[in-house]
Amino acid sequence: MVFTAIASAHTMWLNVSDYSPPAGGSAIAYFGWGHRYPVHDFLDQERFLKNFYLIDPTGKVDALSPNPGGLLATKINFEGEGTYLLAAELKPGFYTMWFEGGKMNYKIGPKTGLSNVVVSTYYEQFSKAIINVGAEDSNFTTPLGHKMEIVPLKNPVNLKEGDYLPVRVLYEGKPVGSFPTIFATYLGFSTETEAYAYTTAANEEGIAKTKILKAGIWMIKVNYKTHPTEELEDKCNELSYTATLSFEIK
């Protein structure tokens, strides 16, 4: 019961051992899951992971099979040069908190039939990582079609400390119009829970600029919440969509 309560509020992101491997080289990809960057908890593949795949510079999509258990580490071999996109999606689901029997109760499921509901959320999560192999290309600007997505407008490989990385935040393929907050952090910034090095808000066009405070490995996160659709009103109180983007600044 404790695990499900914690897992329901966790965030997923992708970690890569080398964001700029040479052509013919390789890298290890593994999952971040929880609240502390870069590693907090283990992602239960069977319960939560829907898709995990790699898009090469030509647009070819290859499904990946992570090793079971732990951080779901996967070795990726890169043949041609260009920009690769690593992506993952969680299975959609519900989590609910309600007060009963003098205590707070939790479950991975809808609020149907429950009283004294404190939180009931339908969630979807999506993650991407940018990997540049040799020469770069413009593959990184192509949206993948995730319901919630962070699309970089510049390739991080060309940025340095002190620069800004512009991104566009999309919901159902369109800019989010509610000025969502962008949270960004880098490896080594903090070991505290939900600690971020930089925050900003996207404008009406869904564009936000993250200042690169330090060279290194970065992760950007955005969460968008909205009211449930008519068919979900009796199952949850809100819809929550989260996207993360991982990259390296040399």
Mean pLDDT (10-residue bins), the chain, 250 residues: 45 97 95 93 92 95 90 93 96 94 91 93 97 86 95 95 96 89 95 90 94 97 93 94 96
The two most distant CA atoms of the chain are separated, in Å, by 61
pLDDT at 15: 98
**What is the per-residue DSSP string for 96-126?**
EEEEETTEEEEESS--TT-SSEEEEEEEEEE
pLDDT at 2: 32
pLDDT at 7: 43
Rounded to 5 degrees, what angle do the CA atoms 46, 47, 49 make? 70
Q: Tell me the helix, strand and coil percentages in the chain, rounded to 5.
A: 10, 50, 45
Q: Which residues of 188-202 are buried (b: 16+ CB within 10 A; e: fewer)?
A: ebeeeeeebbbeeeb
pTM comes to 0.92
Q: Contact, 131 vs 84, CB < 8 A? A: yes
pLDDT at 70: 83
Q: Contact, 15 vs 31, CB < 8 A? A: yes
Residue 136 in tokens: 């770069």
Domain positions in the chain: 2-147+215-249
